[in-house]
């Protein structure tokens, strides 16, 4: 098993899950928060800009697609409930398995389907804890588009990023996000009727920028250099379990029987995935 890559993946999932809790703690204005998060991360990573000459067009496209995925997700969440968004997002390991089969002719085996199925089950249990709010057709289309955009970006990174530093690719994604979303921040600052950033928003945005936007993202890309794409996608289950657990501890979010079952099954899916990777092969 690629120990360093898998350690990086687990660490990225844990940090990303905690970052999601910070994001949930600041629901005032998602667009303003997102623009702040990208701007802060973009400023921090500017010293990586000289390394951009090592990037090829496919990796630049990957970063654009990943930013587009985030923007589309925020658009979708204004018209659908989080449960549907979470469940659709949990389908990415299955979709990546199909891509692997079609492009690399790798067979889909029971050995890898077990942790993926457990992860999907855990996600459904956790996501459906609260009564769902109505979804719209537009929102459903947007969340599917967001999932496809994100998966395509990750797949391109997995295929073409092995000879480029993960930190450089992370820097590019954050700078593209900052360029795309900074106009929202400018509009908010100049419009007296709009929500203005406060320290209660800036500090969580700073933490999310560093933890999720830079550290977790870079570790995830490092893992993509070595591990199969479906395995990396499966780490979203651990992020969800971490987010739910830390939200219960720090935000006093209620814990239900479904949530507990989801945490247990989600943890079991990661343990099973580790076992599969340790005993190698996925096919």
**Residue 37 pLDDT > 70:** yes
Q: What's the predicted TM-score (pTM) here?
A: 0.86
Q: What DSSP string runs through 35-77?
A: HHHHHHHHHHGGGGGGGGGG--HHHHHHHHHHHHHHHHHHHHH
Note the pLDDT tens digit of each residue in 86-105: 777 788 888 888 887 777 65
Note the pLDDT tens digit of each residue in 105-152: 566 677 788 898 999 899 888 887 665 555 678 888 888 899 999 999
- For tokens 């893992």, name the residue: 223
Neighbours of 125 (CB within 10 A): 20
For the chain, first and last CA: distance in Å? Answer: 14
Q: Is 163 left (phi over 0), alpha (psi -120 to 50) or beta?
A: alpha
Q: Which two tokens stand for residue 169?
A: 């690719």
Cα–Cα distance for residue pair 222/208, rounded to 1 Å: 19
Cα–Cα distance for residue pair 75/68, rounded to 1 Å: 11
**Residue 282 pLDDT > 60:** no
In this prediction, residue 38 has a pLDDT band, given cuts at 50, 70 and 90, of very high
Neighbours of 64 (CB within 10 A): 17
pLDDT value for 283: 44
pLDDT value for 6: 86
Q: Which whole number is the average pLDDT over 188-214?
A: 86
Q: Nearest to residue 251, comparing CAs of 66, 11, 27?
A: 27
């Amino acid at each position: 098993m690629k120990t360093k890559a898998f350690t990086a993946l687990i660490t990225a999932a844990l940090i990303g899950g905690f970052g999601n809790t910070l994001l949930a703690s600041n629901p005032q204005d998602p667009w303003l928060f997102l623009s702040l998060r990208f701007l802060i991360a973009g400023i921090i990573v500017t010293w990586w800009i000289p390394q951009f000459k090592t990037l090829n067009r496919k990796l630049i496209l990957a970063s654009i697609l990943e930013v587009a995925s985030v923007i589309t997700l925020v658009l979708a969440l204004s018209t659908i409930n989080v449960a549907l968004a979470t469940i659709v997002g949990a389908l990415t390991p299955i979709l990546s398995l199909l891509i692997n089969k079609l492009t690399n002719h790798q067979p889909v085996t029971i050995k890898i389907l077990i942790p993926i199925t457990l992860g999907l089950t855990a996600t459904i249990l956790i996501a459906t804890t609260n009564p769902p709010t109505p979804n719209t057709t537009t929102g459903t289309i947007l969340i599917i588009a967001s999932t496809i955009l994100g998966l395509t970006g990750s797949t391109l990174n997995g295929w073409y990023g092995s000879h480029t530093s993960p930190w450089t690719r992370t820097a590019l994604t954050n700078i593209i996000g900052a360029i795309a979303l900074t106009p929202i921040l400018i509009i908010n600052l100049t419009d007296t009727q709009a929500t203005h950033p406060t320290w209660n928003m800036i500090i969580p945005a700073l933490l999310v920028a560093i933890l999720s936007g830079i550290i977790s993202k870079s570790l995830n890309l490092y893992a993509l250099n070595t591990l199969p794409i479906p395995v990396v996608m499966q780490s979203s289950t651990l992020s969800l379990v971490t987010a739910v657990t830390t939200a219960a501890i720090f935000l006093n979010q209620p814990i239900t029987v479904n949530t507990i079952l989801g945490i247990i099954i989600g943890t079991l899916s990661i343990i099973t995935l580790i076992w599969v990777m340790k005993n190698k092969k996925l096919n």
